[in-house]
Amino acid sequence: AAIHKNSVEVQHIKFDFIIVGGGTAGNVVANRLTENPKVNVLVIEAGPSHEGVLNSQVPWFAANNWFSTYDWNYTTTPQIGLRGKSTILPRGYILGGSSSINFLIYTRSTIEDYDRIAKITGDKGWSWKTLEPYFKKNEKFVRPADGHNTTGQFDPSVHGFNGINSVSLQGSSTPIDAKVISATRQLGGDFKFVLDQNNGKPIGVGWIQTTVDGPTGRRSSSATSYLSPKFLRRPNLHVLVNAQVSRVLQTKGGNTPTFLKVEFKQTSPGSKLTTLTATREIILSAGAIGSPHILLNSGIGDSKALRRVGLKPLVDLPDVGANLADHAAIANPFVARGNNTFEEIRKPEVTAKLLKQWKANGTGPLVNSIASLISFHRVFGNDIPKLDPAAGPNTPHFEHLFANGLIVPNAFVPPDQHIFSVATALVSPSSRGSVTLNTSNPFDSPLIDLGLLKEESDRRMMRAALRHAFKFVKAPAFADYVVGPAGDLAGATTDAQLDAYMAAEAGTFFHPTGTAAMSPKGAKSGVLDPDLKVKKVSGLRVVDASIFPHIPSGHTQASVYVIAERASDIIKSSYPH
């Protein structure tokens, strides 16, 4: 119907479903459930509308949203694996959630990642094969912004062309692209070129696909796609922005108490707590931090821990907020002999010129994300932990992102240097962290421990990954281009030096998952049944990045989109009439 700014506008409406969080997953579910005109849905989003937010629209401006009014601005607890350093954790605080501010990289992860989830949960519906049609339902593969010939850069047979969310290859070539491709030929082995890493077997180097709508050069988020004007016109679809949900409230007792009421407060000064009740279900889609936070605030979690902060436990579910997994990442910079790098684009006068071009016709370097090529790899021999955290032999342990400059400007690299980055991330980590309550005030931030590089086996894999990056830049293709490591990467060669470098430079790859994980029906561990219903209660489901028992081995948005598509069908099938 519209995007509402004031809850008074929706208070008289009877909602079948209330979705908490208008983010990546939440907007998919809202869209799919309202395909039935008889079903009324309300989305409650803490952040503001995405409409007219330039930093969200321009792909290249993604990181401008950090520390802005569109970011939750979280900081982690001191990270043991980073020698006590705390690190930033940006999360979208805006309609579209993190899909409105992320780096747009679209990777589906591996066949084995999903098949493992199917095996763990005992629900074959989570296997790659069953999810394949949902990937296609989500995806609308479009031409890149520059209209370049994409033959040999992707495999059309694995893509959807009639879905809702635009995906395209990068729309502005960068000087390193050809060098990286040459290096794949020179080095071969696990640096071999892969035509399309979204076929479920991504090991090797390939062209990045991004959630950019090529023809317009704009970001495609769950808000611009699943809540586009044509869908927002549905009279049964309502979105309330600037409203933060504090708790879900029990509406009926019994063995499996029912929670159908949400409590929230609008962000305008002086706003009071308000409640709304759904007739069928509350669906938590507040993300891997927000959803467990709301459950804990509501008394659903580890009873002992809840009592410790002064909350009355209602449902003992010890794994709420546990099992947090993220990808630890480092943006390794190398000094480059070239002047057409990101450092050039970031000069204010150059950015201004490029923004003019982007506004005129949606082309130019600002249509790109941070990299045009990406690679996935495994470690070998003793570097593989006893219990291999990867889902199988075709699932990577780590990733490199090849970027034409510093991924984000930082203080460690002199501003006058031009850079080639080979960012490295652990995509199958063993370490786990948690989301726990800091206080009993639901509007206080929770304690977020990402567990980055906590396990020695992860630090060992990261060392192998760094050495692997050094090997890559030694390819003849870079002989005239890469001078050597920059900043404090220079001189880091021994294990001890690499460990010190990691502790100083590693941070999040922005992919927290797993804090309300699925497990088999009836299992004591886990938070959700395989149909995403919260265990031990009625009326509550979780649909977002929290649900993964293991973190997918790629960037997480495609995985979130696909589980949200299937979740919508699961929910629909629970209410055939």
Ligand X SMILES: Cc1cc2nc3c(=O)[nH]c(=O)nc-3n(C[C@H](O)[C@H](O)[C@H](O)COP(=O)(O)OP(=O)(O)OC[C@H]3O[C@@H](n4cnc5c(N)ncnc54)[C@H](O)[C@@H]3O)c2cc1C
Q: Which residues are catalytic?
A: 511, 555
Q: Residue type for 99, please?
A: S
Work out how close the CB of 349 gets to ligand X at its nearest, in angstroms, rounded to a whole number. 26
| Backbone Cα Rg of the chain | 23
State phi, psi for 138 to the nearest 5 degrees.
-75, -40
Could you give the CA distance from residue 19 to residue 541 in angstroms, rounded to a whole number?
Answer: 10
Could you give the CA distance from residue 112 to residue 550 in angstroms, rounded to a whole number?
Answer: 11
* DSSP string for residues in 28-43: HHHHHHTTSTT--EEE
Subset of 299-358 contacting ligand X (CB under 6 A): none
Nearer to ligand X, 216 or 556 (CB): 556
Subset of 224-253 contacting ligand X (CB under 6 A): 244-245
Residue 550 within binding range of ligand X, rule CB under 6 A: no
Residue 295 within binding range of ligand X, rule CB under 6 A: no
> 20-39 b/e with 16+ CB inside 10 Å = b?
bbbbbbbbbbbbbbbeeeeb
Residue 294 within binding range of ligand X, rule CB under 6 A: yes
Work out how close the CB of 141 gets to ligand X at its nearest, in angstroms, rounded to a whole number. 16
Q: Residue type for 455, please?
A: E
Could you give the CA distance from residue 364 to residue 356 in angstroms, rounded to a whole number?
Answer: 10
Subset of 32-61 contacting ligand X (CB under 6 A): 44-47
Subset of 61-90 contacting ligand X (CB under 6 A): 90
Residue 92 within binding range of ligand X, rule CB under 6 A: yes
Binder of ligand X out of 40, 55, 77, 102 (CB under 6 A): 102
Tokens of 319: 């794994």
Binder of ligand X out of 103, 376, 472, 478 (CB under 6 A): 103
Binder of ligand X out of 32, 91, 327, 535 (CB under 6 A): 91
Is 379 a known ligand-binding residue? no
Q: Is the dihedral of CA 353, 355, 356, 360 positive or negative?
A: positive
Residue 544 within binding range of ligand X, rule CB under 6 A: yes
Residue 194 within binding range of ligand X, rule CB under 6 A: no
Binder of ligand X out of 3, 23, 110, 301 (CB under 6 A): 23
Nearest residue (beta carbon) to ligand X: 23
| Of 558, 557, 331, the residue nearest 465 (C-alpha) | 331
- Give me the sheet containing 165-169, strands edge to edge: 139-141, 165-169, 209-210
Secondary structure of residue 335 in the 3-state scheme: strand
Work out how close the CB of 102 gets to ligand X at its nearest, in angstroms, rounded to a whole number. 3
Residue 401 within binding range of ligand X, rule CB under 6 A: no
Segments in 47-92 forming alpha helices (H)? 54-57
Binder of ligand X out of 19, 260, 423, 545 (CB under 6 A): 545
Subset of 502-531 contacting ligand X (CB under 6 A): 510-511
Contacts (Cβ under 8 Å, ≥6 apart) of 279 = 14, 15, 16, 260
Using CB under 6 A, list all residues that contact ligand X. 20-25, 44-47, 90-93, 97-99, 101-105, 244-245, 285-288, 290, 294, 510-511, 544-545, 555-558, 560
Residue stretches of the annotated binding site: 245
Residue stretches of the annotated binding site for FAD: 245
